[in-house]
Structure 1
Amino acid sequence: MASASITFVLTRLADQAVKEAALLRGVDKDIRLLRDKLEWLQAFIQHADQERRKGANGYVALWVRQTRDVAHEVEDVLDEFLRKADLDRLAARGRSACGGRWLKLAASFTTQVAVRHDLRERMDGIKDRLKEISDNVDKYRSKQLRSNASSSSAAPNASISAAPAWDEEIKVLGFEVCQDLENHLLSSDSRRSVISIIGESGIGKSTLAWKVYDSSNIMKKFDVRVWINVPPQIKENDILYFIYKRLCPEMDEDKLKHSTSTTESIHKNLSEYLRDKRYLVMVDGLANFTNWNSILQSVPDKGNGSRVMIITRLEENEARYADPKIKPFKIDRLEKVDSENLFCNRVLIRSNSQNHNKGSSSESLEPDQMVKVSKNIYEITQGVPLAIVLLAGLLRTKANKEWDKVFKQLKSSEEPKHVKRILALCFDDLPSRLKSCFLYFAGMPENLIYNARRIVRLWAAEGFLKPKKGKTMEDIGQSYLKELISRGMIQLVKKDINGGVWLVAIHDRLHAFAQLEAQEASFLEVHDNADVLAPASIRRLYLQNYMQSYIPMETPFPKLRSILCDFAEERSENLATAPGSSRTQAASSNDLRHHALRSLQASKFLRVIDLRGLRIKKVPHAIGDLIHVRYLGLRSRNLATLPPSIGRLINLQTLDIKRTEVVEIAEAFWEIPTLRHVVANKLKLPEFVGALNNMQTLTGLVCCHPWSNNKRRPLNNMVFLRNLEISGLNGNHWEGLEDAFKKLESLLYLHLAGKGIPSKLFTNFTLRRLQILELYGEINASGDKLDEQYTLPNVTRIVLKESEVDKKFMDKIGELPSLKELVMSDRSYVGEKLVFSDSGFNSITNLVVTGLPELQEWEIRPHSIPKVRKITVGNCPMMKIKLCIEGGQGLKDLMPDLKEVAFWNMPDQEISIEPENEDFREKINNVTMNTKSDDITSAMQRTGRWRAGMIAGDIFQN
């Protein structure tokens, strides 16, 4: 990992030499010589790092550690230099504003001379130390180190990019195992039973369970299903909370506050909701059964065959505690044939179909070569799926002639643990730029699902992403993720609407390896408390504690670059304001301690601050002095204000205040030129902003100022904006928005909420890249011309809410060529009859109609939705479905791809189909009756494939 540290410092030296050429004048020669020396060391340190991991000898470990320390010292010197330079710029800006131009020039010149002098002295000291390290290597162990560096036993460098196969379909083997597990769930046992899935880590428990969970038989059997991932250490009340939030996402925190006890309210509401339903609850990652009975009491046993399934690493005798009457379901290793099939699926088949890389691993394998390869695969992996996937990910980056070298090294290893030695080799084979990115997963919760956008933004803030001409940092981060996925180092959970990476996960074995390697290399420290042993040396700190909502954070960390926190957020702290709360409860709530964040003031090099779950009421004014901060994430329900000094963070790229009550930020913040992403809840967009040319994401914004007479409209200069979510719009904004659309050619996601949304906004061809359009509020189509089309050629998803559109509007959006998903909710349509045009909606695959109480009839014509796969209907109590089946046609002729029809909040006697059609009835799954919600999100989550992480509201956010 020392090689990655050197690579990172080298990249920063090169970047700053370009950016700060004028400031570095006079010391540029020293920086160039230092860079040359570090590059020379890097050529040898990578192999020495591998020797260090093997524990070969003390000399190698000492050399690696000392070289890494020097790289860190270079980073410290560079950051201190840049910090002084940035502070000088801020001071000069203040002097310039006061009219002191000559004073500004004189003061800046004096400061720069002093800064350069200090930089040169410290650089000289570092060069002397590097020379001493090199002399010691030559003196004591030079021959051995150099022979290790050139040893042929070392794994060859990656020769082929793995990224082209990043999104391949994962083949699930073990049909008989899946069938047995499915039979357990579908058994005639009427009592609510608990099935534990056990097996060694890496055996594929979650993969097999997910395959069964998503099968059509399971979907038909159970009224509601929920899958949650939980970290190893979590309170049972939190498990219930996340089950509840997955089943009832419309139940927000405010509704829970109006109870004397949040926990009691969750127990009561969850039990009530599941009372008449056959449910399947799957919990992935449960590490113990402490207070397990408390969880079972809230998921009622009504003798209807409901099931709870647990995926655990516990042994069989421990897992039996979940349900003594049911033997745990054990998953074993793959047989030799299945091992070969899985390997071939991962490394060969995809490459053959794409024929992407010349000389790729699958291009010229002869039958006798395949026999040899298959033998090696089973011998090395011992039938463990994780080991097979990792080895395949490694080999797909190699030409065929290099495979034998990899096999030889793995078989010659004395390490008996096959997964561990393959994982170490895979990590060593990563390019240095990817090693830091992979190790960053050590600073994220175990066994959860992560938002790829957040990961990329963190990488960018850390400086891990190497700029490329013509590509944004977000594009580069996506390519890094794809390569890690292709190599099997992380798992793809879900792709986004663009076909890119949206949600990812990391296997617990790889997560443990990342934490161990990160700590060994002094890359990142993981703790459950801020009281650590050596705070003066920690550069990155990850604090995780799901058992407590408050821990002291008074320790200063002078070298800290990043601090990431995940804590058990206190959900009952607002009970003091809830009706019926007792004085004792109110006093208890007011006595809750809140973090003041004062300790962060000592961490002057901080680049990343991402705090989740901490109770924070205010942020100290001194935050403005942390001039290096590029990522500021503060998710706390108690936070309502940010200090004006936030405008001094002139390097800030991302501000994430999604789960806060912050509604306004100082004007200086909107002048920061480096801003790329602002993720908020209900943040006021000011009347004037700076030239935010780098802005890519604006979500949770509210318009509070008219744009009609404003020539400097806020969105005008955000030409690279990709995601926009804005509310509070009215007649004072539409003209300005129309002008902005002419420049916002990069928009991919657009959410507008307001009054009188003019449909003419979408007759302009400039929104040709837009893919997701969400319109909340009445749409004004009065100015539409009959022959005028909506030019949105790439829109794949449209959501309408309270839009009150008519048939003419529907006919026009039906002509959009790429539209695949249409959601109509909450009075989005006016009229008693809904008929889609025969000439439109030819690409629709997913259709949701909900919250239309006046709709009496929906007529499905022979050619109106020919490719639909899934229909969801809810909260339309007066509606009947009329199938226009003519002549000898059947349902397969009308909708040949239809797989599922889901009704919710529509009692069975109100589901009217004319003419009555048995084929259509057979498609009806997941009939959820008499639910209280009219929320479209609830309907789609209940009836679709929905896998949840523990932080239910966080992982699906920007």
Structure 2
Amino acid sequence: MQPSFRRPPRRRLPPIRTRHHERSPHLLRLHREPRQTDPDLGRPGPRHRYDIEDWIDLFAHRVDGGRQNADDTSGVIQWFRRGFDKLKTLPARHVVATELQQLKARVSELSEQRKRYRFDPPVGYAGGRSGSGIDPRLTALYADSSRLVGLDAPVEEVAKMVMDNGNTGLKVVSVAGMAGSGKTTLATEVVRHLGKQNHFHCSAFVSVGQKPDIAGKTLKSILSQIGDGYGGGDDIGRLIGMLRERLQDKRYIIVIDDLWGKAEWSTLQCCFPNNNLGSRIMVTTRNDVLAKECSSNLGEYIYKIGLLSDADSRDLFFNKAFGKRNGCPDYLRDLSNQIMARCQGLPLAIACIAGVLAHQSSKDEWEWYASNLLPDSHSDRSNSLKQILNLSYNDLPSHLKACMMYLSIFPNNYEIDVEHLLRRWIAEGFISDGRRANREDTARSYLTDLISRNMIKTLHLRDDGTPSSCTLHPVIHDFIVVKSMEENFVTVVDAQLEAGSMNNGTIRRLSVQSSVRQDHAVAQNDTIKHARSVTVFGHASGVPLLTEMSVLRVLDLEGCKGAVCLDGLCKLLLLRYLSLRGTDVSELPAQIGDLRCLETLDVRSTQVKELPASIVRLEKLMHLLVGNAKLPSEIRKMKALVTLSCADVGRSTVNVIQELGELGNLRELELFCEATEISGDKKQLSFPSDGFSSLKQLRIHHSLPLVAFVTSSLPKIEVLEMKFEEGLPDESSGVSGVENLRSLKHVSIEFSQNDSGAAATVASVRNASEMLHPNHPVFSVIIDGMNN
């Protein structure tokens, strides 16, 4: 019998805060004191956008989370157990039902207040001071060519790409690059350069922008610039016809600047006839994928604009800030170098910041910009930089905005491991299950999209061409940090933290990047009890008390120095991502198997020697990275495992290889092994013909090359990486059967020492890969740190 609930008495609402309350004094009457509720579940407070989801999750785990599988019990026992569970959880059900009804009433009241006070931003509102509304790209169209730096070589290269005198057909050349990299300036200079040589009968330069008006603005502007006017009217079909007619017998060059969408390009393509007179179109865009679709010959004519060199950056900065290249006073030289280092060759950032500082002689102002390129300044030049970056950010769909803002968790210039980032996105709930793709593939597609939009920069690639690490340009990083703080999405605590600055609202995601002195204050702060994510860079003293964080989903302490306290860890029922890599942790709690939602566990490079037996109860664990820790028995029960990194296979008391082969979802395996003596013979790591049905990547770290692959083993393996310390003393190969891996695409072998045994192994594996294997996989060798 289900209990009946009466509607709870109406309670006073917590304070309501809004960006507009300073301009709406009537809202001050809506502020009330926060109410107290069940401390175990937390309470909805100001700006708690995630309260309902938190309560639902906690309700599910308080009611069902502790229930064990009962497959081995009879139906009668299960029936009695379900009834007992319902009675036992009645208090929790009542508390949650009450709170959810109060949250529903709160949402309704907030909706009514929103309508009453018209909180919707005005048309064109971009979340900040709009300034004059003038497009900052206009300055690029009328820049003094004699004062431009770093463009001589790019102009020559793009002009040569545009002309290609042997090609008389219509050709489209794309210029792609991140926001503020100088695409518009480059396109303008190319047209000027070619105009001096009278290569074209007519030219036009139009900026499409994020909200294009193809008929009312773009096409009319082109008609006007080619000298014939447009004759009135807004019918797009008529305008396209007029444009084609007037360009039909002319050799023209048209620049389509700042293109954002495929639909706009599809329309514009219809306007330009291929008259075999050597006409040209240049397209500038921030999207690499769009640049490829626009350019001729399936992406053959694309120029990816780079950043300025250190010398060019210095020339541009000094010209803008001091009026001459050598005009920097000694007391500002170090600060100038710091600012240029943060700009990292991005022309727009250098020009904007230098323009702001040109009228500032105060050293304090320069120090501020040296640590923050996007301060809350009323300077029009500073706002123009924000405006340009806002265009890229506002163009992102909502799911990519969340993924992008999440990167503000990492420090400036931090090398982000791609696999860890994707797993954290999934743990945070940013990635939904697709009908045709799993969450990992969907997350990877999100990252690829952000890279193609030039929002994220790739640092290193894997053998298969996918990125293994990435980072943010410092300018974009500062911009994203500001956005995240404005949205209360991520709270960043660094060396600039002032006392009390964390008490302005509930913290949902915390990134601690501070010193030991500040870490203790952070760890004791009461506003973090509702945090979903905690990441600590530096000292472990910054780790908050886990006993107070009931809704935590991500806990990343990788590389933290000092003792790490794990008290209360097993009470984090919603925890999905846990990284203790590189910490001083020596033992995991015996009850870690209670973390039934855990999907990623990383304890590599720690002092943990053995995993608790309860870990096999983690039915949702997909990524287990244990380093030197010994695996428990019954590892075959962990059916969800996709990635596994483990060690000491040769010394395990159970046949680990056979057990791992039964994991049908395992796609990536990393093994750390040491050779052992058995009756005077070296023990060989051998992979059987059955098992590992889904494995695609295998990395082996072995002291000696003792590996064998039998016929039909690892049927889906695509990438094989083997790292050994030294070769066998008898100069035999030690590695056999590589040719039996029928799906293999990439093989790499590495030796720490260069000896005759290593040479024999390399020769054998090379022969198997290049001569015996039917696919002829890509083969690479590294010996003693050198590519061979």
Please confirm whether the aligned pair reaches a TM-score higher than 0.5, indicating the same fold: yes
Distance in structure 2 (CA, Å) of the matches to 1:67 and 1:387: 43
User: 1:95 offset after TM fit, Å?
Assistant: 13
Could you tell me how far 1:607 is from its partner in structure 2? 0.6
Contact 2:683 2:706 in 1 (8 A): no
SS for the counterpart of 2:630 is strand
SS in 1 for 2:427: helix
Letter in 1 for 2:49: A
Structure 2 letter corresponding to 1:675: L
CA positional deviation for 1:444: 0.4
Q: How many angstroms does 1:563 deviate by?
A: 0.6
**1:607 has 2:553 as partner:** yes
Distance 1:424 1:448, change over 3 A: same
One-letter amino acid of the counterpart of residue 554, structure 1: Q
Distance across 2 between alignment mates of 1:780 and 1:453: 37
Q: Which residue of 2 aligns with 1:812?
A: 768
Pairing partner for 2:188 from 336, 339, 354: 336
Between the two proteins, what is the percent identity of the paired residues?
19
**Separation in structure 2 between the aligned mates of residue 680 and residue 465 of structure 1, nearest angstrom:** 25
What is the alpha-carbon distance in structure 2 between the residues aligned to residue 506 and residue 560 of structure 1?
24
User: Pairwise mapping of residues 890-909 of structure 1 onto structure 2 (< 5 A)?
Assistant: none
The answer to whether residue 609 in structure 2 is matched with residue 663 in structure 1 is yes
Structure 1 residue 84: deviation in Å? 1.1
5 Å-filtered alignment, 1:311-460, equals: 336-337=188-189, 360=265, 364=269, 366=271, 417-460=383-426
Using the alignment, how far apart are the partners of 1:54 and 1:388 within structure 2? 34
Change (3 A) 1:93 1:641: farther
Q: Measure the CA separation in 2 of the matches of 1:80 and 1:67.
A: 17
> Which residues of structure 2 form unaligned runs of 5+?
8-17, 31-43, 131-148, 157-177, 194-204, 211-252, 274-278, 288-315, 321-342, 350-378, 752-756
**1:137–1:102 distance in 2 versus 1, CA, 3 Å:** closer
What corresponds to 1:89 in structure 2?
A: 67
Map residues 610-649 of structure 1 onto 2, 5 A cutoff. 610-617=556-563, 619-649=565-595
Counterparts of 1:567-578 in structure 2, within 5 Å, are 567=538
Quote how far apart the aligned CAs of 1:459 are. Answer: 0.6
Alignment of 1:836-875 (within 5 A): 848=782, 850=783
TM-score (ref. length: structure 2): 0.58
CA contact (8 A) 2:536 2:543 kept: no
Paired position in structure 1 for 2:718: 770
Residue 367 of structure 1: how far off its partner (Å): 6.0
Alignment partner of 2:95: what SS? helix
**Residue 796 of structure 1 is aligned with which of 746, 753, 757?**
746
Q: What residue in structure 2 maps to residue 750 of structure 1?
A: 699
Contact 1:539 1:562 in 2 (8 A): yes
User: The residue matched to 2:454 in structure 1 has which SS?
Assistant: coil
**1:566 aligned to 2:566?**
no
Residue of structure 2 in register with 1:116 after alignment: 93
Alpha-carbon distance change, 609 to 781 in structure 1, aligned in 2, over 3 angstroms: same
Q: Which residue of 2 aligns with 1:555?
A: 525
For residues 443 and 783 of structure 1, the distance between their equivalents in structure 2, rounded to whole angstroms, comes to 43
2:779 aligns with 821
Distance in 1 of aligned mates of 2:90 and 2:662:
40
Say whether the 8 Å CA contact 2:457–2:470 is kept in structure 1.
Answer: yes
Provide the residue aligned with 1:277 in structure 2: none
Q: 1:414 & 1:524 partners in 2: Cα distance?
A: 27
* 1:527 shift after superposition: 0.7
1:863-889 Cα distance to aligned partner (Å, 9 max, x none):
xxxxxxxxxxxxxxxxxxxxxxxxxxx
In structure 2, what is the Cα distance between the partners aligned to 1:433 and 1:471?
A: 16
Does residue 467 of structure 1 match 2:433?
A: yes
**1:724, distance to aligned residue in structure 2 (A):** 2.6
1:822 CA drift (Å): 2.3
CA distance 1:95–1:83, shift in 2 (3 Å): farther
Within the candidate set 612, 616, 624, 1:678 is matched to 624
Q: Determine which of 482, 485, 497 is the counterpart of 2:463.
A: 497
Deviation of 1:422 after TM superposition, in Å, equals 2.6
1:425 is matched by which residue type in structure 2? L
Q: Mean Cα displacement is larger for which, 423-432 or 731-740?
A: 731-740
2-structure distance, mates of 1:93, 1:555: 42
SS at 2:93 equivalent = helix
Q: Is the 8 A contact 2:574 2:597 kept in 1?
A: yes
State the TM-score, normalized to the length of structure 1: 0.49
**CA-CA distance at 1:712 after TM superposition:** 6.9
Question: Which deviations, in whole Å up to 9, do the C-alpha atoms of 1:327-377 show, x marking residues without a partner?
Answer: xxxxx9868326999999x9999x9xxxx9676569617469999988999
Q: CA deviation at 1:67?
A: 12
Residue 147 of structure 1, CA deviation:
7.7
2:431 and 2:29 map into 1 onto residues whose CA distance is: 29
- Seen in structure 2, the aligned counterparts of structure 1 residues 422 and 339 have a Cα distance that, compared at 3 Å, is farther
> Partners in 1 of 2:185 and 2:46 — Cα distance?
40
Provide the rounded CA distance (Å) in 2 between the counterparts of 1:613 and 1:752: 22
**How far apart, in 2, do the equivalents of 1:806 and 1:513 lie?**
49
Alignment of 1:148-227 (within 5 A): 174-176=151-153
Q: Is the 8 A contact 1:713 1:736 kept in 2?
A: no
- Counterpart of 1:907 in structure 2 is none
CA distance in 2, matches of 1:376, 1:708: 54
Structure 1 residues 173 and 676: CA distance shift in structure 2, 3 A: farther
| In structure 2, C-alpha distance between the alignment counterparts of 1:472 and 1:103, rounded to whole Å | 38
In structure 1, C-alpha distance between the alignment counterparts of 2:86 and 2:658, rounded to whole Å: 35
Instruction: Indicate conservation of the 8 Å contact 2:590/2:612, yes or no.
Output: yes
Give the secondary structure class of the aligned counterpart of 1:468.
coil
Partner of 1:477: 443
Over aligned residue pairs, what C-alpha RMSD do you find? Answer: 5.5
Larger relative contact order, structure 1 or 2 (CA cutoff 8 Å, min sep 6): 1
Distance 1:204 1:85, change over 3 A: same
SS of equivalent to 1:814: helix
1:514 to 480, 492, 498: 480
Distance 1:489 1:716 in 2: 41
- Cα distance 1:756–1:505, how it changes in 2: closer, same or farther (>3 A)? closer
1:74 aligns with 2:49: no
Q: Is the Cα contact below 8 Å between 1:661 and 1:681 reproduced in 2? A: no
Q: CA distance change for structure 1 residues 544 and 53 in 2, over 3 Å: closer, same or farther? A: farther
Relative to structure 1, the CA distance from residue 782 to residue 177 in structure 2 (aligned partners, 3 Å threshold; closer, same or farther) is: closer
Cα shift at 1:821 = 3.4
Q: Cα distance 1:618–1:361, how it changes in 2: closer, same or farther (>3 A)?
A: same
Q: 1:753 to 1:718 in 2, by over 3 A?
A: farther
CA contact (8 A) 1:70 1:126 kept: no
Task: State the alpha-carbon separation in 2 of the partners of residues 442 and 717 from structure 1.
Answer: 36
1:197: which partner in 2?
none
Question: How much has 1:477 moved relative to structure 2?
Answer: 1.0
The residue type equivalent to 1:447 in the other structure is N
Maintained 8 Å contact 1:656/1:678: yes
* Closer/same/farther in 2, CA of residues 666 and 748 from structure 1, 3 Å limit: same
2:513 aligns to what? 544
Residues 642-698 of structure 1, C-alpha deviations (whole Å, 9 max, x = no match): 221222211111112233222211011133111111234312223321432322222
Partners of 1:631 and 1:789 in 2: how far apart? 38
Contact 1:652/1:674 (8 A) holds in 2? yes
C-alpha contact (below 8 Å) 2:459/2:469 kept by paired residues: yes
Checking the alignment, whether the CA contact within 8 Å between 2:405 and 2:483 is kept in structure 1 is yes
Distance 2:29 2:667 in 1: 48
Report the count of equivalent residues: 554
Q: Counterparts of 1:432 and 1:774 in 2: how far apart (Å)?
A: 41
Pick closer, same or farther for the CA change 1:473–1:651 going to 2, 3 Å.
same
- Correspondent of 1:135 among 91, 112, 116: 112
SS of 2:66's equivalent in the other structure is helix
Letter in 2 for 1:688: E
Q: CA deviation at 1:791?
A: 3.4
Aligned partners of 2:535 and 2:555 also within 8 Å? yes
- Map Cα deviations across residues 28-50 of structure 1 (whole Å, 9 max, x no partner): xx9xxxxxxxxxxxxxxxxxx9x
